[in-house]
Amino acid sequence: MAAEPQPAAPTQGRGPSHGMRIFVIWLVVSVVADLLFGFLLAPHLPPGDMSSAAHDEQDAINIMVLMSAPVVAFVLVYFGYALIVWRHREGDDEDGPALHGHARIQTAWITVTSVIVLALAVFGTVELWDSHGAGAGEGPAPIFKPPGTVSLASWTPGKPLVVQVIAQQWRFTYRYPQFGGFETYQLVLPENQWVQFDVTSLDVIHSFWAYQLGVKADANPNVNNVAYAKPTQLGHFMVRCAELCGLWHGAMFNSGSVVTQAQFQSWTGATKSFMADVTRLLPAFATTYDPTVIPAFRSGPVMKKLGLTSAGGGFYPPQDPVQP
Amino acid sequence: MAIETEPGTTQQPGGADPGATAPVKAWWMRPAVHTAIIGAVIGYIFGHWLGNLIDSGYPQIQPGGGQPDQNDIDIVLGYVFMVIGWLAGLGFFNDLINQMRGKRLLDYELRSGGDTGLARYFRFTHDHKVVGIQYLVGMVVYFCTAGLFAMAIRTELLSPVNHVFSSSVYVEIVGEHGTMMMMLMTSVILGPFGNYLVPLMIGSKRVAFPRLEALSFWLTPVAFLVLLSAIMLGGFNTGWTGYPSLAVQAGEGIDAYAFAFGLMGISVILAGFNLLVTVICYRAPGMRWSRIPMFVWGILGTAVMMTLAAPILVGAMYMMITDRTFQTAFFTPRLGGSTYLYQNLFWFFGHPEVYILALPGFGVVLELLPVFARKPLFAYKVAAAGIIGVTLLSFFVWQHHLFDSGINPDMRPLFMLTTELISIPTGFIFLVGMGTLWKAKIRYTVPMLFCLAFFFNFLIGGISGVFVSDIPADTTEHGSFFVMAHFHYTIMGGLIFAFMAACYYWLPKMMGIKLNETLGKWHFWLMFLAFNSTFLPLFAVGLAGQPRRIFEYAHNLQTLNDWVSISAFFLGGSILLFLINFVWSTVVTRVPATGNPWGSRGLEWQTSSPPPAHNFVAVPVVLSGPYEYGESGGPPVADMNPPVGVLTAALAGPEAGSDAARAEA
C-alpha cells in the first residue's frame, strides 16, 4: 500500500485547508524520517557488509525503508490529524457530510500506488539479477550466476569456489570437491572470491543460513540447491538452520570464517593431506547423497580421525534418530 | 434454481415439512452433545480395533526412517470412525436416512421440543443464529487455548540457555500454537459473525444450506480435540506447516495433526460454500450488488477463497496420511516423491489462507467505520474492488514462501511481482478508510477504537509484507522472527482486533446485551499497547538473525526477547480482561441493550435484537444502501413490512425474464 500527498481538499473555501496542513506535516515528517534513517541507521542495518549478497540485501532493505517511510508517515499523519481534528464533539448530533467519493483522488491514489508497487517489483528483479540471486537458493539449475565457469577438478582464483553443504539432523558438514573432495566441520572461505554453495540434505528439510554472508538456501533431501555469495571482509560468521528440522533445530548452528587467499590455500592443503585416508573411503563427490545406499563407515580410520561423516552415510543409521 | 420462490409457503430451514407433527421425547433421548460423545467413543474404539486388525497382517516399512514398529493405521481409522460416531450421535444422519426411507422431514425446532433455552446451543440445529453463537463460544475457547501455548513459548524464550521445557516439548508447543491458530482461527469472524449476520444483512430468513452450516461448526470441536490429542501421542515436531520429510519421519502425533487439519479443511469448505451461495442467491428484493454491506463483501471474498483453496489442503493432508499409513511415497524423494509437491500444495492453500484471515477483518472495519464516523463509506466501489482484487490475486502468490527453497529460479520475478501487486487492492482499503474519516465526526466507542487500531497494525503488517516480498531482502528475513512478526501484525493485529471490534459492536445484536464500555476501553488500551510492544521488537530480533521455532538463541538478544515475553504476558492479560468483561456483561450484570444502540443504518439493526426466529417478520424490500449517513430526508434503508404484491413481483421478475431469454435461445 502506498500513498500520495492528497492535494487540495475536496471541499474548498471557508475553513482551514486540511489537505494543505496534512501535506505540510507529512512532508516534514517524512523528510526527517528518511534523513534520520538514511544517515543514522541504514549503514548499520543487518545483515551487514560481509559479502556481496549481504551488501545487496542491506541495500534492498534500506531502499525499501526509504521508500516506505513516507507512505507510513502519510497514513499515520492523516490518521493522527483526522482523529484529533474530526473527533465528535459533545452536543453535536449531526452526521458528517455525505461524501460518497472523489474521482480525482481515487484515480490519483490508484495511479500512485500502482507506480510505487511496479517500481518496487522492477527494482527487486534488477537487484535479484544484479546480485546473482542475492544469496538465495536457486535450485539445481541456477540462472542468476556469477562470472566464471566452474570446474570441479580444481580451483583457480578468479573462478567460483564450490563448497558443498551437507545438512542432516542436526549438523552441517562441508565438502570441497575442488580439493579432492575432503569433508570437514569447518567452513573456511577465501576473501573476494565467488563461492558457489551446493546445499543438500540427507534426511529432512533444513535451511543453510550463513547470516553475515546473506546466504539462505533450503537443504532438501535428494535435491541440490545452489546459492552464490562473494565474501568481501575477513572474519567469522554464523551459520544457523532456518527451517524447523526436528528436536534439536534450535541447536543446529556453527560458525565459519573468511580468510585471506594465502591462508585459504594453506588451510586446504593441510586439511586435504590430514583427511586423505578418510577422503579415500568417501563416495565420489555428487550433488546429492542417499544415506540408505551409501555404506556407513563406523570403524577404522574414519572413526579414529573424525567420527562419522555425512557423505559417508551420516552420523546415524537411517532409521535414527528416533523422533519424539 | 432449487430455492423456494413461492412466497406463499413458509420457508423452513432444511426443507422440513411444515405439516408434520413431532413426537416429543425426553431430553436425554434427543440427539445432543452427550449422545455425540457416546457415539464418538464407540466410533473411536471400533476404528482403533479395525486399524489394529488391518495392521496386524503386514510388516511396516517407514520410508522416511521413523520408528518401524508404530501403527498409524489404527490411529487414523480411530479418528475417522470417531468423527462418524460423533456426527451420528448428533443426529446428523437422521434426516438423510429418513429421506431415503421416504419419510416426511420434521421441522427441527418441533422435533427438539421447540426449545429456545440454552439446550439448543448443544444441539445440531438449522438456525444460523444458534450456529453463530456456537461458533462464537467455540472460537473464543480455541483462541484462548492456542494463546496459552503462546504464553508457554514466550516463557521458554525468557532465557537463551535455561529451559522451562525440554526441546521436544518446546517444539510440540510451537506446533500446537501455530496449527491451532492457523486452522481454527480461519473461521474466527466468518464462523460467528458471518453465519449470524450475513442473512440478517442481506434480508434473508435463512442460509442456503443450514445442514452444511451446522456440520461446519460441529466438525470444529472434533478438529480441536484431535489436534490436542497429538500431545498424548507425543506431539508433532513440524510446526504448523508440517513439511515432509520431517512429517513422514515423525511419530504418531503427526497423524493427529494431519487428520485435524484435513477435517478443519472440510469444515472450512462447507462454511464458505454455504455463505457463498447464501450471498448470491438469498438477497432480499432491492439488495443489489451495489447495496451489499462491506462486511458481506468481505465474507463473500473469504468464502470464495475458502471454497477454492481448502480442497487443496484436504488433498495434501490426505496424501500425507496415506504416506504414513498405506506406505505411499508422495513426499519421499528417494522413492520418486517430492517434498516440493507438499510445499506447493500446502502453500497453494496456505497463501489464500492468510488472506482468508485478513479479508473478514477488512469487512468488519469498513462496515463499522461509517457508523462511527457518521459519514457514508468513501468510494464504495473501490472498497469492493479491493476485496475482489485481494481474493483473485491471493491465488497467484503462494510461491513466495519458497523463495529460498530451490524451486525454479525463473519463476521468482513473477511471484515477486504478484506478491507486490496485492498491495494495490490492499491499499484501496486504506484509501476508503481514510476517505471515510475526512471531515467525519468520529465517535470513540470501543468498537471504533479497535477499528482504528486495525488500520495502525495492518499498516505495519502490510509494509513489512512488502519487505518480505522482495527477494534480496527476503533472503535475510525468510524463516526468521521478522516474518513471524509480520504475519502476527496482519493476523493478530488485523483479524483479532477486527474480531474484538465485531464482538463489541454486534453482541448487542446477537445477545441483546452491550459489553461494559469502561472495561472495554481498559481491554482495548492494554491489548493495543501490549500487542505493539510484543511484536514491534520482533522485527529487530528477526533482522538480528534469530530463526523461528528455536528454543535457544544468541545471548545478545536476551534483553529484546525478555521485553517481548513480558509484553506477551500483558497481551495475554488483556485477553483475560476481555473474557472477564464478556462473562461480567453477559452472565452477571446482563444490562439489556435493545434496538439500535449505535444508530446504525445496517439492515441487521432494523429488526429486533436479538432477532426473532425467522429474522424478519416479512421479507424486507431494500430501498437504499447501508451507509447513507448525513443525507437528511433520504430514503430509509428498507421497507420492513412491504405490501404483499411487491415481493411476488420482485421474485417473479428476474425468473420470468431469464425463462423467456432461455426460450428465445
Rounded to a whole number of angstroms, the distance from the CA of A166 to the nearest CA of chain B is 15
Q: Are residues A117 and A182 in the same domain?
A: no
Residue B603 cell numbers, joined: 439492515
Grade residue B426 by pLDDT with cuts at 50, 70 and 90: very high
> Would B12 be classed as within a structural domain?
no
Q: Which residues of A touch B435 (CB under 8 A)?
A: 99, 101-102, 105
Distance between the two ends of chain B, CA-based, in angstroms? Answer: 19
Q: Over 60: is that where the pLDDT of A294 sits? A: no
What are the residues whose beta carbons fall under 8 Å from the beta carbon of B118, sequence distance 6 or more?
none
For A127, the closest of B404, B472, B631 (CB atoms) is B472
Please give the residue that has the higher pLDDT: either A28 or A132: A28
* pLDDT score, position A154: 87
Q: Over 90: is that where the pLDDT of A262 sits? A: yes
Dihedral of CA B422/B423/B427/B430: which sign?
positive
For A61, the closest of B171, B473, B545 (CB atoms) is B473
> Would A226 be classed as within a structural domain?
yes
pLDDT digits (tens, 9 = 90+) for B446-460: 999 999 999 999 999
Q: Are residues A40 and A109 in the same domain?
A: yes
What are the residues whose beta carbons fall under 8 Å from the beta carbon of B519, sequence distance 6 or more?
B577, B580, B581, B584, B585
B471 touches chain A (CB under 8 A): yes
> Would B618 be classed as within a structural domain?
yes
A23 touches chain B (CB under 8 A): no
Gap between the Cα atoms of B661 and B665, Å rounded: 6
Q: Which residues of B touch A120 (CB under 8 A)?
A: 420, 466, 470
What percent of chain A is predicted at pLDDT more than 70? Answer: 85
> Would B15 be classed as within a structural domain?
no
> Would A153 be classed as within a structural domain?
no
- Return the residue of A nearest to B482 by Cα: A46
| Alpha-helical runs (H) found in chain A | 18-36, 52-85, 103-130, 261-274, 276-281, 300-306
Q: Are residues B166 and B212 in the same domain?
A: yes
Gap between the Cα atoms of B169 and B424, Å rounded: 42
* pLDDT score, position B70: 62
Q: Which residues of A touch B427 (CB under 8 A)?
A: 1-3, 109, 113
Q: Are residues A125 and A200 in the same domain?
A: no
Q: Are residues A243 and A296 in the same domain?
A: yes
Of the listed ranges A92-96, B115-119, B182-186, the least confidently predicted one is B115-119
Cβ contact A58:A46 at 8 Å: yes
Burial B79-92 (b: 16+ CB within 10 A, else e): bbbbbbbbbbbbbb
Cβ contact A296:A268 at 8 Å: no
A66 touches chain B (CB under 8 A): no
The verdict on a CB contact (< 8 Å) between A136 and B404 is yes
Q: Are residues A188 and A280 in the same domain?
A: yes
> Would B11 be classed as within a structural domain?
no
Burial B391-405 (b: 16+ CB within 10 A, else e): bebbbbbbbbbbbbb
Q: Are residues B485 and B620 in the same domain?
A: no
> Would B658 be classed as within a structural domain?
yes
Q: Which residues of B touch A72 (CB under 8 A)?
A: 459-460, 463
Q: Over 70: is that where the pLDDT of B650 sits? A: no
Q: Are residues B101 and B111 in the same domain?
A: no
Q: Are residues B167 and B66 in the same domain?
A: no
Rounded to a whole number of angstroms, the distance from the CA of B385 to the nearest CA of chain A is 11
Q: Over 50: is that where the pLDDT of A139 sits? A: yes
Inter-chain CB pairs, A–B, below 8 Å: 334
Q: Are residues A125 and A198 in the same domain?
A: no
Most confident listed range (A266-275, A288-297, B19-28): A266-275
Q: Over 70: is that where the pLDDT of B583 sits? A: yes
Interface of B with A in 419-448 (CB under 8 A): 420-421, 423-424, 426-431, 434-435, 437-444
Gap between the Cα atoms of B188 and B139, Å rounded: 6
Q: Which residues of A touch B438 (CB under 8 A)?
A: 9-10, 18, 82, 86, 99
Torsion of Cα atoms, A138 then A143 then A145 then A151, to 10°: 90
Q: Are residues B90 and B48 in the same domain?
A: yes
What percent of chain A is predicted at pLDDT more than 90? Answer: 51
B630 touches chain A (CB under 8 A): yes
- Return the residue of B nearest to A240 by Cα: B547
B456 touches chain A (CB under 8 A): yes
> Would B604 be classed as within a structural domain?
no
Written as one letter, the residue type at A245 is C
Written as one letter, the residue type at B115 is D
Q: Are residues B97 and B123 in the same domain?
A: no
> Would B23 be classed as within a structural domain?
no
Supply the DSSP symbol for A229.
E
Domain that holds residue A42: 18-85+104-130
pLDDT digits (tens, 9 = 90+) for B315-324: 999 999 998 8
ipTM: 0.89
The verdict on a CB contact (< 8 Å) between B459 and A211 is no
Please give the residue that has the higher pLDDT: either A132 or A72: A72
For A46, the closest of B250, B476, B628 (CB atoms) is B476
Q: Over 50: is that where the pLDDT of A150 sits? A: yes
Place of cell 434427543: B30
> How many folded domains does chain B comprise?
3
pLDDT digits (tens, 9 = 90+) for A69-115: 999 999 999 999 999 999 998 888 888 888 888 999 999 999 999 99
Using DSSP bridges, classify how beta strands A161-168 and A195-201 pair: parallel, antiparallel or unpaired. Answer: parallel
Q: Are residues A215 and A125 in the same domain?
A: no
* pLDDT score, position A232: 94
Q: Are residues B556 and B614 in the same domain?
A: no
- Counting Cα atoms < 13 Å in the Cβ hemisphere of B662 gives 6
How far CA B607 is from CA of B9, B135, B427, B594, in Å, comes to: 22, 22, 34, 10
Segment B416-443 shows an average pLDDT of: 94
How far CA A172 is from CA of A53, A251, A252, A299, B186, in Å, comes to: 21, 11, 8, 21, 37
Domain that holds residue B252: 106-589
CATH at B195? 1.20.210.10
How far CA B504 is from CA of A74, A288, B13, B582, in Å, comes to: 29, 57, 29, 9
For A244, the closest of B239, B249, B442 (CB atoms) is B239
Supply the DSSP symbol for B323.
H
Q: Are residues A118 and A233 in the same domain?
A: no
> Would B9 be classed as within a structural domain?
no
Q: Are residues B259 and B200 in the same domain?
A: yes
As a whole number, the mean pLDDT across chain A is 84
Q: Are residues B550 and B660 in the same domain?
A: no
For B246, the closest of A101, A139, A204 (CB atoms) is A204
Torsion of Cα atoms, B651 then B656 then B657 then B661, to 10°: 150
- Return the residue of A nearest to B473 by Cα: A57
Q: Are residues B79 and B114 in the same domain?
A: no
> Would A151 be classed as within a structural domain?
no
Q: Are residues A234 and A167 in the same domain?
A: yes
Of the listed ranges A158-162, B73-77, B96-100, the least confidently predicted one is B96-100
Segment A123-149 shows an average pLDDT of: 89
- Coil, strand or helix: which one is B341? helix
Rounded to a whole number of angstroms, the distance from the CA of A299 to the nearest CA of chain B is 23
Grade residue B468 by pLDDT with cuts at 50, 70 and 90: very high
Burial A200-223 (b: 16+ CB within 10 A, else e): bbbbbbbbbbbbbbbbbbbbbbbb
Segment B463-470 shows an average pLDDT of: 93
Answer with the one of B55, B71, B105 that is the final residue of a domain.
Answer: B105
* pLDDT score, position B24: 63
Q: Over 70: is that where the pLDDT of B658 sits? A: no
Q: What angle do CA A71, A73, A77 make, to 5 degrees?
A: 125
Interface of B with A in 205-234 (CB under 8 A): 234
Interface of B with A in 122-181 (CB under 8 A): 167-168, 170-172, 174
Rounded to a whole number of angstroms, the distance from the CA of A209 to the nearest CA of chain B is 8
The verdict on a CB contact (< 8 Å) between A68 and B417 is no
> Would A140 be classed as within a structural domain?
no
What are the residues whose beta carbons fall under 8 Å from the beta carbon of B633, sequence distance 6 or more?
none
Q: Which residues of A touch B408 (CB under 8 A)?
A: 139, 141
Residue B117 burial by Cβ neighbours in a 10 Å radius (0-12, 13-18, 19+)? exposed
Grade residue B638 by pLDDT with cuts at 50, 70 and 90: confident
DSSP readout, B249-304? HS-THHHHHHHHHHHHHHHHHHHHHHHHHHHHH-PPTT--GGGS-HHHHHHHHHHH
Of the listed ranges A125-129, B200-204, B452-456, B652-656, the least confidently predicted one is B652-656
> Would A144 be classed as within a structural domain?
no
Q: Are residues B43 and B79 in the same domain?
A: yes
Minimal CA–CA distance to B144: which of B496, B621, B502, B537? B496
> How many folded domains does chain A comprise?
2
Q: Are residues A300 and A253 in the same domain?
A: yes
For A217, the closest of B404, B426, B463 (CB atoms) is B404
CATH at A196? 2.60.40.420
What percent of chain B is predicted at pLDDT more than 70? Answer: 89
> Would A40 be classed as within a structural domain?
yes
Using DSSP bridges, classify how beta strands B638-639 and B621-622 pair: parallel, antiparallel or unpaired. Answer: antiparallel
Gap between the Cα atoms of A217 and B481, Å rounded: 17
> Would A252 be classed as within a structural domain?
yes
As a whole number, the mean pLDDT across chain B is 87
Rounded to a whole number of angstroms, the distance from the CA of A204 to the nearest CA of chain B is 5
- Return the residue of B nearest to A60 by Cα: B473
Please give the residue that has the higher pLDDT: either B53 or B423: B423
The verdict on a CB contact (< 8 Å) between A79 and B476 is no
> Would A91 be classed as within a structural domain?
no
* pLDDT score, position B11: 47
Q: Are residues A29 and A111 in the same domain?
A: yes
Segment B147-172 shows an average pLDDT of: 92
Q: Which residues of B touch A71 (CB under 8 A)?
A: 463
Q: Are residues A170 and A219 in the same domain?
A: yes
Provide the 10 A C-beta neighbour count for residue A267: 17
Minimal CA–CA distance to A7: which of A104, A113, A111? A104
pLDDT digits (tens, 9 = 90+) for A45-55: 888 889 999 99
Segment A201-210 shows an average pLDDT of: 91
Grade residue A321 by pLDDT with cuts at 50, 70 and 90: very low
Q: Are residues B239 and B328 in the same domain?
A: yes
Cβ contact A198:A165 at 8 Å: yes
B60 touches chain A (CB under 8 A): no
